[in-house]
Chain A
């Protein structure tokens, strides 16, 4: 029943590993996002997809690759994990059009710890 769901909720892994975080929304939204929230709580946008097409790609290492198989899903794959990747990653979605187009609905977050 959850509007924006992401899995897993916690992810603990070793440096150098490759991992994926999945995100799904059942709100019928056109736009999905990935954010990174570091230990200082700063919330920074990483990617934005609209109808499966990339529209925002902030300065993010190439090790991060989003994949959108359809407009309800936006997964985040991370290669060669580094200590600095440890953070909480939030997926979000929004309508993309109309008066409510900018209202973002966040998932519960994935806490990634790289050891």
Chain B
């Protein structure tokens, strides 16, 4: 199966600064890499995703990059705001519906 590692486990940044969360995966057959945001006491929700045929994708203040050769992908949040505070999960999906989530990163944005 797949093994997804996520770093860091906790991250604190000042409001307005950037935040970067990194994930590595083990199975080169993984072809879809979503990022989910889970606010305290809420359900995980998809914020951005990238497929294996794309190297970078951006949506306003968030972006994801994928390096297939190195088997790692990263989430970048620019101009962070207090409402960005949450737990972020990366995931790697093998063919079919085999989801493997990373261990999560608790992001705190300090006003």
In the assembled complex, B81 has its CB within 8 A of some CB on chain A: no
Complex-state Cα separation, A101 to B94, whole angstroms:
12
CB of A107 within 8 A of chain B?
Answer: yes
- CB pair B43–A102 under 8 Å, yes or no, is no
Q: Which residues of B contact A31 (CB under 8 A)?
A: 97
Question: Contact: B43 with A50, CB < 8 Å?
Answer: no
Task: Assess the B97–A103 pair: CB atoms within 8 A.
Answer: no
Q: Provide the bound-state CA to CA distance between A44 and B36, in Å.
A: 14
- Would you give the shortest CB distance from A2 to chain B, in whole angstroms? 10
- How many residues of chain B are within 8 Å of chain A by beta carbon? 22
Which segment of B17-25, B44-52, B62-70, B71-79 sits at the interface?
B44-52
Query: Does A55 belong to the interface (CB within 8 Å)?
Result: yes
- Complex CA gap A73/B105 in Å reads 31
Interface of B: prevailing SS: strand
* Complex CA distance for A45 and B44, rounded to whole angstroms: 13
Closest B-chain residue to A101, C-beta based? B97
Evaluate contact between A102 and B106: CB separation under 8 angstroms.
Answer: no
| Those of A15-59 within 8 Å (CB) of chain B | 31, 33, 40-45, 48, 50, 55-56
| CA distance in complex: A106, B34 (Å) | 14
What is the minimal beta-carbon distance from A38 to any residue of chain B, in angstroms? 11
Using a CB–CB cutoff of 8 Å, the interface residues on chain A facing chain B are 31, 33, 40-45, 48, 50, 55-56, 90, 94, 96, 101-104, 106-109
**Mind listing 11 A-B residue pairs with CB under 8 Å?**
A41-B106, A42-B104, A43-B89, A43-B104, A44-B101, A55-B97, A102-B34, A104-B44, A106-B44, A106-B45, A108-B43
Q: Which residues on B are within 8 Å of A, measured CB to CB? A: 32, 34, 36, 38, 42-46, 49, 87, 89, 93, 96-101, 103-104, 106
